[in-house]
Structure 1
């Protein structure tokens, strides 16, 4: 009989928190069961195993990131929207590195997968940011890929503690955003 109050969503949230704490690579069903004070077999009443659990974390992460980007950029355009989106993504990645990693490492299982829909929300927010730059439509995909790549790279490196120079990381972040903003303005 399933433990009262234990649901797939509760298992997913506990696993996502653990992934943020110990890293996605170290996440195991045993650790999740320990966190929830149950035996590992009890988890299989709610999720279909480790791969299913990581997929659920990926959907959660993509949804949360999409919401954060939407909320940060709503009512903003141009440079203001770019800065707001960049800060929202940086904050999400550095606060939730394990679940963000799941969001990037898992592939959709089918065309109608919840993960596809959740990721689309993120892309829509970034696309809205780029609309403020009046880009040629043929350049929009390139700009979208560039923006996501730069923000992903910076935030992931920061979350991993890979910036080793004494220079202030916030200054580097601002410098990068200025470079991106000027580049986008120059191409429009």
Structure 2
């Protein structure tokens, strides 16, 4: 990371950035106050002035990664209006983020967002806004919209999780299978639109 940050000029963002650098290099086991302090060239107590221990550190890192992911997805889908194109671009953006930053993706998806939490609620609302953009042309009721959102999220997250775990061992391109799944999601959303609640 370059020269160590002096303890007195250390900011919370410095700590988070160092933690993400450790995460990228070494995986989730590196998300600890002691490891991040070594990365910064400081003593661990200096971090406690900004984040109260490992749980707070992991939370701050997860929130930052969520913000990075949302911005990544926004850039990948900017200017698109067609719902199917949005779904494909959003699905590709999520998978590309997971491939580019596998440790970040795991930390992000293991962190539970809560609408009652003032720090995480805006992130959930941003994800909901995107999914509503994808699904708006289907004119779904609120119940059907929730079903469709859950299905899309479960399919994409599940595929990526299984892929990252190395469990897709059959001789078939995972890229091709992912494209088929996205196409199938379009058909499944149309099915949700037609069925009675």
Task: Give the TM-score taking structure 1 as reference length.
Answer: 0.86
User: Can you give the 5+ residue segments of structure 2 that lack an aligned partner in the other structure?
Assistant: none
Q: Choose which of 120, 135, 142 in structure 2 pairs with 1:130.
A: 135
1:70 positional shift: 2.8
2:153 matched residue in structure 1: 148
User: Can you give the 5+ residue segments of structure 1 that lack an aligned partner in the other structure?
Assistant: none
Q: Does 1:73 align with 2:64?
A: no
* CA offsets 1:110-160 (integer angstroms, 9 cap, x no match): 934312222321222122111133334431000000001111111222233
Task: Give the TM-score taking structure 2 as reference length.
Answer: 0.82
Which structure has the larger Rg over C-alpha atoms? 2
1:82 positional shift: 0.5
* CA offsets 1:35-79 (integer angstroms, 9 cap, x no match): 222222222222211111111011112212222233333332221
2:144 & 2:106 partners in 1: Cα distance? Answer: 28
Q: Does 1:16 align with 2:31?
A: no
2:97 matched residue in structure 1: 92
Give the number of equivalent residue pairs: 188
Higher relative contact order (CA 8 A, sep 6+): 1
Q: 1:19 to 1:123 in 2, by over 3 A?
A: farther
Q: Output the aligned Cα RMSD.
A: 2.5
